[in-house]
Structure 1
């Protein structure tokens, strides 16, 4: 009745306001609706409306149980209670031994790296938690550089080329300082990999981010230049340490790398570490500290990069996350848009901490392996990746 009684543009406006779960049920109402929901224009319109009106939001939560089992659950964005557990085996073609990393989201799509049968053997997957669809990326033809008999590891980046709307995965092959890094790019539009020339001519160590780190066409990593003494001895982190720390940013459109110096942060005896993150649409640095005399006191300084990438002296210390609700070993999972802080406590409890009132509210307990946990807020999307619709028209 709705399709016949209302003009087409009104029908489109109504459907664009519905959750993905409802739209998936409406696929079989009529062929025109099926085609509409797989069109790039409608997918973009639906996602923009959900994003601007704070609708269709959820949290991807990765953790290990007390028995060591890897779990991924979808949480309600409002209550942070589990709305659905994810069957990881249904996402990957092989039985994975571990989920090494989750990157994203961009427009509701995540990139997953699953490990199986030992180190450096993997399945790579794009995943839409709203539609429950996953796409296995093709295998990468390995170059002769892999045949050197030396160990290597992989680091990843994930985002979209804003000029073409094409999703891209960047794989960085790290030969542990013995050779220059190798860079391989996957394009969703061609469903293929290629090796790209790198503007990074030096030996770097790139750190896999613990938080979402893609923003406005750039993916960011913390990096260190390996010092000359380390190179000669074949050691990545010698006693003297790296010569400098900085951010490496990959321009997904031009496929070049830019460097930005990190701010000079206090490194007192209680310095824990620092991580790159995107917080409230800003590239940020999260620096952790603890009181060595009282491990129940823990805090985080948040620095924000306040001008263009690649320009020096662009960092400002914005705020501090501190209070009696924080303790040594707590894992900061996310600083949410409403200012609340999501934590995985050292007792395994998922908790929300209010910076203003310093009140701590525990949600539930999820195992004891809190150091591996990850939480990422996303907005659901209708985007399809296996030919049912186009992400990059």
Structure 2
């Protein structure tokens, strides 16, 4: 690469320029120079490109719109609704996915998207390159015949319902069996993307006690072992720095008998081992039933929503302590009929983007989810999106996940 004066630019300057470009222009540049093609396809550059994308203050948000035509009872293949940030907010833009590709519940990690589909199938997408591939889930009968569970599930666990978490598990939104707990992340050592599935033992209806892993490098399922501490069915996971995190069934138990039992467990994507995580900061009280783990800024966050407040806790990198970072007073804000609030990203200026879900019985002409932004300096919570649409009989929209472009493809992992 030459400068305007005709001099060759230093190699590190070339890399600095190239890593600022979107994925599609980079692929076009591969046709211009063999050296550029070799550089762009190198793992070194792909990793550096990902780090740069995640460090940018501007990011993209995956969004999904379903449009139903009641005359034919079919879902429109393409969205007829358009979204943009309000007042041309420089922090984020939307990326819309087609209706025939994804469902409302998607898992996102380092530029790859995992979408559960009907029939125990999973669709993996790189939106930046347009690459897609589908994998099927094997039958649980692959479990070793000599396997015996060493997990004892308390008798009262089956009384609880994961609906208390406010997580979307209705059939039309999450076609994969609600008994599965899914986690999607990246092995920090090998670079392999992996889908982790926790599920209950056949014939039981209590909690998830078994585990298997799908490697996107080999496209093979591997049975791992029993889950040392059972987990509630249907809850979302948090994928952070090569580990997947879930709440255990003991989260709401404050009895002395269970006070030292782990409330959170983590699964290491490289060693395929579980470990207990330091207790959430609840003390002796019982936490709310609307509570979630999530990845914000490559850290594990726990978000608890009550009738009056939305509290956000961050766990330090070593997993040894929790710190309350945000406490949002919901009583003082005029929320547009939103019942469940889920933070999805923290902007560079400390503002929090929050997805607000409306009740299922709300007006079907209205959008089911809205995007809000909380400003900790002014203590304001305002709508952060502007949505226009063609008038159709019925539609729903979901904000799925933050998203960063990736140069990796499924055949270069």
TM-score (norm 2): 0.68
Superposed displacement of residue 345, structure 1: 5.9
User: 1:380 maps to what in 2?
Assistant: 405
Q: Is the Cα–Cα contact under 8 Å of residues 104 and 400 in structure 2 kept in the other structure?
A: no
Superposed displacement of residue 286, structure 1: 0.7
User: 1:192 maps to what in 2?
Assistant: 220
User: 2:154 maps to what in 1?
Assistant: none
Q: Which of residues 102, 107, 114 is equivalent to 1:103?
A: 107
Deviations along 1:227-280, whole A, 9 cap, x unmatched?
9xxxxxxxxx9xxxx997711211112111112333326879x95521112233
Q: Is the Cα–Cα contact under 8 Å of residues 75 and 84 in structure 1 kept in the other structure?
A: no
Relative to structure 1, is the Cα distance of residues 365 and 299 closer, same or farther in structure 2, using a 3 angstrom cutoff? farther
Q: Which of residues 208, 213, 218 is equivalent to 2:235?
A: 208
Q: Which of residues 110, 132, 137 is equivalent to 2:130?
A: 132
Provide the rounded CA distance (Å) in 2 between the counterparts of 1:226 and 1:284: 15
Relative to structure 1, is the Cα distance of residues 84 and 52 closer, same or farther in structure 2, using a 3 angstrom cutoff? closer
Q: Which of residues 241, 245, 263 is equivalent to 2:281?
A: 263
User: 1:59 maps to what in 2?
Assistant: 61
Superposed displacement of residue 157, structure 1: 1.0
What does 1:12-161 correspond to in 2, within 5 Å? 12-54=15-57, 57-62=59-64, 64=66, 78=89, 84-89=95-100, 91=101, 99=103, 101-106=105-110, 108-115=111-118, 121-143=119-141, 153-161=179-187
**136-145 or 71-80, which deviates more:** 71-80
Relative to structure 1, is the Cα distance of residues 194 and 262 closer, same or farther in structure 2, using a 3 angstrom cutoff? same
Provide the rounded CA distance (Å) in 2 between the counterparts of 1:137 and 1:27: 30
Relative to structure 1, is the Cα distance of residues 13 and 204 closer, same or farther in structure 2, using a 3 angstrom cutoff? closer
Relative to structure 1, is the Cα distance of residues 343 and 187 closer, same or farther in structure 2, using a 3 angstrom cutoff? closer
Provide the rounded CA distance (Å) in 2 between the counterparts of 1:369 and 1:340: 29
What does 1:267-286 correspond to in 2, within 5 Å? 271=288, 273-286=290-303
Provide the rounded CA distance (Å) in 1 between the counterparts of 2:41 and 2:83: 24
Q: Which of residues 6, 21, 40 is equivalent to 2:8?
A: 6
Q: Which of residues 284, 289, 292 is equivalent to 2:306?
A: 289
Q: Is the Cα–Cα contact under 8 Å of residues 305 and 341 in structure 2 kept in the other structure?
A: no
Deviations along 1:82-114, whole A, 9 cap, x unmatched?
65532243x5xxxxxx726311222x2222212
Provide the rounded CA distance (Å) in 2 between the counterparts of 1:73 and 1:172: 36
Q: Is the Cα–Cα contact under 8 Å of residues 177 and 226 in structure 1 kept in the other structure?
A: no
Provide the rounded CA distance (Å) in 2 between the counterparts of 1:326 and 1:19: 38
What does 1:295-314 correspond to in 2, within 5 Å? 298-306=308-316, 308-309=318-319, 314=321
Superposed displacement of residue 219, structure 1: 0.9
Deviations along 1:284-320, whole A, 9 cap, x unmatched?
2111111xxxxxxx420112224633x5xx3333320
User: 1:321 maps to what in 2?
Assistant: 328
Provide the rounded CA distance (Å) in 2 between the counterparts of 1:299 and 1:152: 28
Q: Is the Cα–Cα contact under 8 Å of residues 108 and 402 in structure 2 kept in the other structure?
A: no
SS at 1:373 equivalent: strand
Q: Is the Cα–Cα contact under 8 Å of residues 333 and 374 in structure 1 kept in the other structure?
A: no
Q: Which runs of 5+ in 2 are unaligned?
A: 146-176, 359-365
Deviations along 1:188-216, whole A, 9 cap, x unmatched?
22221111123x3454424421xx71112
Q: Is the Cα–Cα contact under 8 Å of residues 291 and 302 in structure 2 kept in the other structure?
A: yes
Q: Which runs of 5+ in 1 are unaligned?
A: 92-97, 116-120, 228-236, 291-297
Provide the rounded CA distance (Å) in 1 between the counterparts of 2:339 and 2:140: 39
Q: Is the Cα–Cα contact under 8 Å of residues 152 and 173 in structure 1 kept in the other structure?
A: no
SS at 1:33 equivalent: helix
Deviations along 1:356-386, whole A, 9 cap, x unmatched?
321523523489988x83342222111111x
Provide the rounded CA distance (Å) in 2 between the counterparts of 1:326 and 1:375: 24
- What is the Cα-based RMSD across aligned positions, in Å? 4.1
Q: Which of residues 199, 203, 217 is equivalent to 2:242?
A: 217
